[in-house]
Structure 1
Amino acid sequence: MPTTPKSLFWTRTDTAGAEHVVIDDAHGLTAHGTLVAIDPIPYSCRYQLAAGQDWTAIRLEVEAEGAGWSRSVRLERTGDGWRVRTGEEGDLDAALRAAGHTPAGLPGTEAPDRLADAFDVDLSGSPLFNTLPVRRLNMNRAPADQARRVIAAWVLVPSLAVVPAEQVYTSLGPGRVRFASDTFTADLAVDPDGFVVRYPGLAERVDAG
Structure 2
Amino acid sequence: MTASRAITWEVLESRGFETAWVRLGEGGLRAHGRAVGTVPEPYWISYELETAEGFVTRRLTVTAETESSTRTLDLRRDDAGRWTADGEPLPAVDGALDCDLGLCPLTNTMPVLRHGLHLAPGEREFLMAWVSVPGLVVRPSQQVYTHLGRTDGGGHVRYASGDYRSDLEFDADGLVVDYPGLARRLP
- What's the TM-score, normalizing by structure 1? 0.83
> By how many angstroms is 1:16 displaced?
1.8
Q: Which amino acid aligns with 2:110?
A: L
> By how many angstroms is 1:14 displaced?
2.7
Contact residue 100 and residue 108 of structure 2 kept, 8 A: yes
Spell out structure 1 runs of 4+ moving beyond 4 A: none
**Partner residue in 1 for 2:45:** 45
Q: How has the CA–CA distance of structure 1 residues 124 and 197 changed in structure 2, closer, same or farther, with 3 Å as cutoff?
A: same
Q: 2:140 aligns with which of 157, 164, 182?
A: 164
**Partner residue in 2 for 1:16:** 15
Contact residue 141 and residue 161 of structure 2 kept, 8 A: yes
For residues 118-165 of structure 1, the C-alpha deviation after alignment (integer angstroms, 9 at most, x for no partner) is 10100110100000100011111122xx21100110000011000010
Contact residue 158 and residue 167 of structure 2 kept, 8 A: yes
Q: How has the CA–CA distance of structure 1 residues 173 and 80 changed in structure 2, closer, same or farther, with 3 Å as cutoff?
A: closer
Identity of aligned residues (%): 39
Residues 122-161 of structure 1 aligned to structure 2 (within 5 Å): 122-143=100-121, 146-161=122-137
> By how many angstroms is 1:189 displaced?
0.5
Cα distance in 2 for partners of 1:55, 1:185 equals 23
**Partner residue in 1 for 2:163:** 183
**Partner residue in 2 for 1:92:** none
- What's the TM-score, normalizing by structure 2? 0.92
**Are residue 206 (structure 1) and residue 186 (structure 2) matched?**
yes
For residues 92-127 of structure 1, the C-alpha deviation after alignment (integer angstroms, 9 at most, x for no partner) is xxxxxxxxxxxxxxxxxx861111121010011010
Q: Which amino acid aligns with 1:132?
A: M
SS in 2 for 1:133: helix
Cα distance in 2 for partners of 1:116, 1:26 equals 26
Contact residue 22 and residue 29 of structure 2 kept, 8 A: yes
Q: Which amino acid aligns with 2:17?
A: A
**Partner residue in 2 for 1:76:** 76
RMSD in angstroms over aligned alpha carbons?
1.6
Cα distance in 2 for partners of 1:186, 1:142 equals 18
| Bigger Cα Rg | 1
Cα distance in 2 for partners of 1:185, 1:121 equals 19
Cα distance in 1 for partners of 2:98, 2:172 equals 20
SS in 1 for 2:157: strand
Q: In structure 2, list runs of 5 or more residues that go unmatched.
A: none
Q: 1:193 aligns with which of 173, 176, 183?
A: 173
> By how many angstroms is 1:84 displaced?
1.2
Q: In structure 1, list runs of 5 or more residues that go unmatched.
A: 87-109
> By how many angstroms is 1:4 displaced?
2.5
